[in-house]
């Protein structure tokens, strides 16, 4: 889908930088969703205990990383995008990649089996 968008709007290096980080973010969100669906994981228990504050922090971090990746698409110049990344010491990209590596390294959550209540 992102590639079709770049064909439509033109070929700029910044598109591919944005698309790469958006893909990483979408992949990370998928991993986090699968992980947080399981109730027996330690991070899920910590997340549930933190309540609204934990949800707000996680949502805010996700939103800020997405907005930062969108900045490159607005700039359109690849060299300026790289200068911006360097000026920010690659902190947003590092956070995103570290989160991805953490969730990829965690053991896969067990899927709860659905029990048919009529059999009991």
User: Which tokens sit at 76?
Assistant: 């359109």
Number of domains in the chain: 1
What separation in angstroms does the CA of 75 have from each of 16, 72, 79, 97? 12, 5, 10, 22
User: Which tokens sit at 90?
Assistant: 């690659």
Q: Are 25 and 103 in contact (CB under 8 A)?
A: no
Please give the angle made by the CA atoms of 82, 90 and 70, to the nearest 5 degrees.
65
Domain residue limits at 42: 2-119
pLDDT in tens, 91-110: 999 999 998 998 899 887 76
Give the Cα separation of 79 and 12 in Å (integer).
Answer: 11
pLDDT in tens, 13-39: 888 888 889 889 889 888 887 777 777
pTM to 2 decimals?
A: 0.76
């Amino acid at each position: 889908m992102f590639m079709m968008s770049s064909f439509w709007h033109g070929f700029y290096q910044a598109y591919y930088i944005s698309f790469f980080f958006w893909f990483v973010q979408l992949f990370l969100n998928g991993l986090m969703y699968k992980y947080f669906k399981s109730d027996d994981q330690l991070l899920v228990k910590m997340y549930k205990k933190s309540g609204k504050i934990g949800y707000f922090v996680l949502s805010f971090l996700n939103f800020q990383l997405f907005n930062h990746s969108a900045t490159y698409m607005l700039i359109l110049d690849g060299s300026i995008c790289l200068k911006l990344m360097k000026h920010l010491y690659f902190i947003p990209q590092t956070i995103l990649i570290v989160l991805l590596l953490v969730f990829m390294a965690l053991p896969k959550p067990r899927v709860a089996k659905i029990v048919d209540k009529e059999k009991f």
